[in-house]
Structure 1
Amino acid sequence: MSGPVAVVEIACDESGFSGTNLLDPASPVIAHAAVDLTREEAATVLGTLRSRFNHRRTAEHKAHLLLRPGQPEAVAWFLDELAGRSTVHVVDKRDHVAGRVLDLLTGEPSYVDGTRLGRDRGRAVAVLRERGDVLAAFVAMTHLKHRRRPDRTAVDRFLALVPGVVAEGVPELAGVTRRGVVAVLDRLLDADPAVPPPLEPLVPALAETVLRWSDGGRSVVVVHDEQSALTRQRTAVLAATLAAAVSPAPPPLLGVRQVDSRRDPRVQVADLLAGWARSSAEAAA
């Protein structure tokens, strides 16, 4: 008879979240960080940054304090303190949008899309990510806030670009039709819980973070900075989808609790780590 399932609690935050403005060249990636520190351990890390590295005493530590010029020793110490106790997942936003074009329009959308459990879209994504006009048309078409029905002009603009993309090496889109596109948009307008939000990279980023911490053998409880993208319905569907995908392994995600980061030092540490990771990824691009 198997024993009780191990449970780990992680604190998470992101850097680079830009809402639906996913193609802003000034913010090309989103970094999602997680730590498994206790409150006391996190408070000690923040206290050392204040005293040893002359960080201002504020209600909340922000990444720009760690990343300001002349702080390499602080960064090195910080990363060393988190070794083995943290993870970072970086999402290229253009890759995310390109993947969503394929996920939503060429098969049944799933909350595992964009994670290691999703479909392999690598080759097609590599082509699509270079077509800024296609990505912009898709974003405009799927940005449905305050709308009651799909925007016909936006749909036409997107569909007019599809043949060119197919010719460039994305045959997966050859079967895309107006009827199919409108059907997907109608599902989004109806808030179909089975369809993941196309313009929210934070959702698959959280999923991938959970899968890394679960590692097929334990379940994860997430404490997260407040984010409008992580609604109760979305996190519940994400938890159920991940559980079904890995069964009979333990369910990866047990729950998500959102908190005010100013009141949880663990989330502040995750914010610092996410900010460092995003800055590093953008500098290397």
Structure 2
Amino acid sequence: MVTGQDLEIACDESGAEGENLTAAITDVFAHASVSMEIEAADDVIRVLRDRIRSPATEYKANHLLRGKHRSALVWLLGPSGPIYGTARVYLVEKRFFIVSRIVDLLDDPYSPSLGFYRRFETETLYRTGPTLPGWIPLLESFNDVMRARVPAQTFYDRLNDLRAPELTGPLAATRPNLDAYLERPAEDPRTIPVLDPLIPAIIQAVVAWSSSGRPVEVVHDRQTTLSEERIVELKGVFNDPRLASRARLAGLRLTESRLDARIQMADFLAGVARKIASEELNGRGDAELNDLLRHYVDPASLWGHEASWSHLHP
């Protein structure tokens, strides 16, 4: 229940493909959160309808990303725009995320991501791995193991194929940690997916907005990942000592974006942020849009590509 002391944020994502990271259509996941009144969000949508003049019943980010509507996008993100200072976006480079999850096998017990990771080991493997033959098959095998498509040994075989013991030696000894995780009851509806970036994104949204000193109430667009059982599990995550002292989740409820204009604002930001960030990641960056977006980007975003991050970080 929201109280006068709670800070309510509305959230949505773009680029979600569950635990499919290596064969995903998108290479970036974005999760946006906004803190504004529903009436203010309704006003923004009315302005955008007037600017874009599309017959669509519900506007999406792809409307703003069309070249002919660039002025509307610049207005929305700009310093005099309606969401400046009231919105954040958490970016996840999917390739970097899966590398971080591989490195997390060093942790006992292995568990779903809270958004923390072994920075030094992850960045080292992320930078060095692509220079080795068999790197992509390694990532694909890990993704398949975690999705119960191939046996765990497949990953360790691919790890051995890299023939870089100085880099992968510690990971070769993690089989007990992975086996212990895989032996959990797969049918347990509470089980939080290890490779789905949505959960760490929600956690980081609560952490970021908790800087206000108020408990955070999350209103989120409906997602299949967010079952009732997993929401209960997610709430329990905030008892972790690494989170308890700096993040307070007052509650989380789901609704449809068409019923809450604030979620449409989050959808706009997540969608355009994912596209802008992906273009920069692939060497097709837009300097003006990068500069506008960086004011919203969470510095704790999971991003490993240094050249693109230099144009995206706040």
Q: TM-score under structure 2 normalisation?
A: 0.77
* 1:100-111 mapped onto 2 (5 Å cutoff): 100-104=101-105, 106-111=107-112
In structure 2, the partner of 1:160 is: 157
Q: 2:138 aligns with which of 129, 134, 138?
A: 134
Native 8 Å contact 2:109 2:177 kept in 1: no
In structure 2, the partner of 1:59 is: 57
In structure 1, the partner of 2:9 is: 10
In structure 2, the partner of 1:143 is: 147
Per-residue deviation, 1:103:
2.2
Task: Write the distance in 1 (CA, Å) between the matches of 2:11 and 2:20.
Answer: 22
Native 8 Å contact 1:31 1:278 kept in 2: yes
2:280 paired with 1:280: no
Structure-2 change in CA distance of 1:48 and 1:125 (3 Å)? farther
Native 8 Å contact 1:216 1:252 kept in 2: no
* Unmatched tracts of structure 1, length 5 or more: 145-150
Per-residue deviation, 1:248:
6.3
Task: Write the distance in 2 (CA, Å) between the matches of 1:27 and 1:206.
Answer: 19
Per-residue deviation, 1:137:
0.3
Q: In the TM superposition, what whole-angstrom CA distance separates every residue of 1:29-51 from its partner, at most 9, and x where no partner exists?
A: 11000111111000000000011
Task: Write the distance in 2 (CA, Å) between the matches of 1:201 and 1:7.
Answer: 25
In structure 2, the partner of 1:91 is: 92
2:32 paired with 1:28: no
Count of matched residue positions in the alignment of Structure 1 and Structure 2: 270
Per-residue deviation, 1:104:
4.1
Structure-2 change in CA distance of 1:132 and 1:97 (3 Å)? same
Structure-2 change in CA distance of 1:49 and 1:229 (3 Å)? same
Q: 2:248 aligns with which of 226, 248, 252?
A: 252
Counterpart of 1:41 in structure 2: which amino acid? A
In structure 2, the partner of 1:230 is: 226
In structure 1, the partner of 2:262 is: 266
In structure 2, the partner of 1:37 is: 36
Stretch of structure 1 that moved more, 81-90 or 155-164 = 155-164
Counterpart of 1:97 in structure 2: which amino acid? I
In structure 2, the partner of 1:49 is: 48
Counterpart of 2:52 in structure 1: which amino acid? N
Native 8 Å contact 2:111 2:181 kept in 1: no
In structure 2, the partner of 1:239 is: 235
Task: Write the distance in 2 (CA, Å) between the matches of 1:278 and 1:165.
Answer: 35
Counterpart of 2:82 in structure 1: which amino acid? E
Native 8 Å contact 1:62 1:271 kept in 2: yes
2:73 paired with 1:75: yes
Per-residue deviation, 1:230:
1.7
Task: Write the distance in 1 (CA, Å) between the matches of 2:71 and 2:231.
Answer: 38
Structure-2 change in CA distance of 1:8 and 1:128 (3 Å)? farther
Q: In the TM superposition, what whole-angstrom CA distance separates every residue of 1:46-88 from its partner, at most 9, and x where no partner exists?
A: 000011x123243311111011112221111111221110000
Counterpart of 1:253 in structure 2: which amino acid? L
> Where has structure 1 moved over 6 Å in runs of 4 or more?
none
Identity of aligned residues (%): 32
Counterpart of 1:228 in structure 2: which amino acid? T
In structure 1, the partner of 2:193 is: 197
The alignment's C-alpha RMSD in Å is 2.6
Per-residue deviation, 1:168:
5.6
Native 8 Å contact 1:14 1:31 kept in 2: yes
In structure 1, the partner of 2:306 is: none
Counterpart of 1:132 in structure 2: which amino acid? I
Q: TM-score under structure 1 normalisation?
A: 0.84
Structure-2 change in CA distance of 1:104 and 1:59 (3 Å)? farther
Native 8 Å contact 2:110 2:181 kept in 1: no
Residue aligned with 2:238, SS: helix
Counterpart of 1:96 in structure 2: which amino acid? F
Counterpart of 2:66 in structure 1: which amino acid? R
Counterpart of 2:122 in structure 1: which amino acid? G
Task: Write the distance in 2 (CA, Å) between the matches of 1:28 and 1:159.
Answer: 25
Per-residue deviation, 1:24:
3.3
